[in-house]
Each structure stands twice: as C-alpha cells, then as structure tokens.
Amino acid sequence: MSLKKKILVGLAIILIGIQFFQPLQNQSGEVKDTHIEKVYAVPQNVKAVLQTSCYDCHSNNTLYPWYSRIQPGAWFMAKHIKEGKEELNFSDFGSYSTRKQRNKFRSMSNQVNDGTMPLNSYTLIHRNAVLSLEEKQVLTKWFDAMADSLQ
C-alpha cells in the first residue's frame, strides 16, 4: 500500500472514530424562573425574533439541526454555544444584577444595530436568523426601552 493510501485510510479511521465522541447537548427542557420571558413582559414580536436568531446560542435550550451530530462540527458548535452562554444567557437573565441587565440590554442593542449579532457564522447556515431592518428596529427599540427602565 502506498504512503498516500495509508494516510487516507488513517484519516478515514480517525474521522469515523471521532463520531463516537459527542459533546453534551444544550437542552434543559425547562424554562427557569430566571428566564428573560418570566422576568419581563417580552412582546410577541420581540420573542419571535429572539427565539429564531438568539436562543440557540444564548439560552439553555438549543434546537439542533441534523448536522450537529457530525464531528468535528459538533465540537465547534458546543464550544460556540458555551461561549455564547458565558457572554449572555437569556435563561439566567433574571439572576443578573440590575446593572448587568442594563448593560446587557445596551450591548444587545448596539450589537444588533451594528450587525455583529447574530454572528455571520450562524446566519450563514441559519438563513432564517438573518435580521431584517424591521426586526433590528423592533429589537433595538425594546432593548433600549428596557435599558432606560432600569436606570
């Protein structure tokens, strides 16, 4: 067997082998009392956008597509979700201090307004998560109003 074939066989074995090592999924199945929707009256139009464009990476319940079980992509997704939840977790939003909540609302408004959220790497695959101008305005208006109410 040539060196090239040995390398290809070795890579195939590695790719098949890593499929057996799946990360834990981010699915709690419950809505905690600290969830933003239990702490604040979230208008339906805001809630719909948050569910479509934000919750997969920023809550305790991710909706996983079929490709999320294929390695090494699943590891990348798990890392991405972990980092997203460390930055902002809508499931734990009510446990944040008032100051932190106000700062998060301001930050969310700025990031949605300047187009840095949702991430391009997410919207590349999840086309329905791309925010329209109207959705950006709905979110930033509500985020700004919430930040102002927490003065």
Residue-wise pLDDT for 111-141, tens only, equals 999 999 998 888 888 888 999 999 999 999 9
pLDDT band at 60 (very low <50, low <70, confident <90, very high): very high
Q: Name the residue ranges covered by the structural domains of the chain.
A: 24-149
CA distance 73 to 88: 22
What is the end-to-end Cα distance of the chain in Å, rounded? 72
What is the reported pLDDT for 77? 78
Residue pair 133/113 in contact by the 8 Å Cβ criterion:
no
Distance of CA 58 to the CA centre of its chain: 4
Please give the residue that has the higher pLDDT: either 23 or 120: 120
| CA 16 – CA 71 distance, rounded (Å) | 9
